[in-house]
Copies of this chain bind each other. A is one copy, B any other.
């Protein structure tokens, strides 16, 4: 089965928004075992939309569109599709009821134009929108499937997962199931070199690497008739990867991300953490508190951007700040100790360094970062050089610094308690 994803919206062609829907739909179709060979974007223009829709239906079994289902004059996806397929538009009572319910739920006045959203092509099936007003539309005609979905990511994602995915599953029989092995601070090319044989020879399950900002994810995907069978195929491959890469370099399997892995580990061991962030400015505590339930493990975070605060609140000694500066291993260590002490947490973690663009010197260049870890019986710091020499890398340096801090805290929680 082949599918094309056709996203409709002038805001995409102007670059006002990034096309996250195409990525989401592609990922979900891959999971269903449906091939996507093309993604296309067209604007809110009836002629060009009709041409693209026609070509997509000619070349594919399934076409999925996003966008252009709203109530305004430039929302014309379903009218264009109906015209192309020779279908009349008809009023759908059930969709109208859902729209009315939605407005009651969010306690808002319904505008008149909204009624346009309850019209669907004759013979089509309306798909309920749990997070908005425009219903999705499912059409099977001449052996082809056309699915029209709304544009906002918060509407399309639950609609696809809850209602569309089950409809499409009947075409593939098999489901795709994946598990993900997470590496941090382990070069992508090193992982690829070590696992090259596996990646090129294995067909089911497959092994694919995906690198992003310091992390390498290895995704092992099997096609099987159910999840249990898929897992039986995947698990030996994970064991093989562990034996090749070394399990000390793997921080988790299916753990989502570093902050989720850290929160899980802290909960498991009944530990509390506290952060003191200079260069990362709150990003570590922000990432930890992304995880629901993190209040059980995060005692306190401080963003001690000035030396005065480092000294007065965290207790970093004036001597250290004067002799070694705020950007030093010694300061990082005293920051981690300090925040652990004032908060009463089990683990203190700190960051200090130079994010740029200004503030770097030959001796202390942009990208120099110290991460500190402190527990009652064990403290250390790690010096990092995170600049890649690009012009706008402030946020990348801060993000990588926060990832290293989360990773080192995770290692510490795992090994020292």
Q: Which residues of A in the span 39-76 have a Cβ within 8 Å of any Cβ on B? A: 39-43, 45, 48, 52
Does A106 count as interface, using CB distance less than 8 angstroms?
yes
Contacts A16-B210, A28-B15 given; indicate if A285 touches B295 (C-beta within 8 A).
Answer: no
Contact A286 B289 (CB under 8 A): no
**Nearest chain B CB to A17's CB is how many angstroms away?**
7
Q: Which of A222-230, A249-257, A305-313 contacts B (4 or more CB under 8 A)?
A: A305-313
Q: Which of A12, A210, A301, A389 has the most CB of B within 10 A?
A: A301
Can you list, as one digit per residue, whether each of A3-14 has a CB less than 8 Å from chain B (1) or not (0)? 000000001111
Contact B282 A301 (CB under 8 A): yes
Interface of A (DSSP majority class): mixed
Contact B281 A301 (CB under 8 A): yes
Cα A342 to Cα B284 in complex, Å, equals: 22
| CB neighbours of A303 from chain B (8 A) | 275, 282, 285, 289, 298, 300-303
| CB neighbours of A210 from chain B (8 A) | 11, 16
Contact B389 A105 (CB under 8 A): yes
Q: Which residues of A in the span 343-361 have a Cβ within 8 Å of any Cβ on B? A: 343-344, 356-358
Does A290 count as interface, using CB distance less than 8 angstroms?
yes
Does A36 count as interface, using CB distance less than 8 angstroms?
yes
Q: Which of A80-88, A317-325, A390-398 contacts B (4 or more CB under 8 A)?
A: A390-398
**Nearest chain B CB to A243's CB is how many angstroms away?**
25
Does A237 count as interface, using CB distance less than 8 angstroms?
no
Q: Which of A18-26, A136-144, A370-378 contacts B (4 or more CB under 8 A)?
A: A18-26
Q: Which of A22, A158, A280, A389 has the most CB of B within 10 A?
A: A22
Does A288 count as interface, using CB distance less than 8 angstroms?
yes
Does A30 count as interface, using CB distance less than 8 angstroms?
yes
Contact A37 B42 (CB under 8 A): yes
Q: Which residues of A in the span 266-287 have a Cβ within 8 Å of any Cβ on B? A: 275, 277, 280-286
Does A164 count as interface, using CB distance less than 8 angstroms?
no
Contact B302 A358 (CB under 8 A): no
Contact B40 A27 (CB under 8 A): no
Would you mind naming 22 contact pairs between A and B with Cβ atoms under 8 Å apart? A12-B23, A14-B27, A14-B36, A15-B22, A16-B23, A38-B41, A38-B42, A40-B41, A106-B389, A154-B388, A275-B303, A280-B286, A289-B305, A290-B394, A290-B395, A292-B394, A294-B305, A295-B305, A298-B306, A299-B305, A299-B308, A313-B313
Contact B305 A301 (CB under 8 A): yes
Does A403 count as interface, using CB distance less than 8 angstroms?
no
| CB neighbours of A275 from chain B (8 A) | 282, 303
| CB neighbours of A286 from chain B (8 A) | 280-283, 286
CB < 8 Å neighbour of A289 from B40, B281, B290: B281
Cα A112 to Cα B262 in complex, Å, equals: 39
| CB neighbours of A298 from chain B (8 A) | 281, 303, 305-306
Cα A280 to Cα B26 in complex, Å, equals: 32
**Nearest chain B CB to A45's CB is how many angstroms away?**
7
| CB neighbours of A38 from chain B (8 A) | 13, 40-42, 48, 52
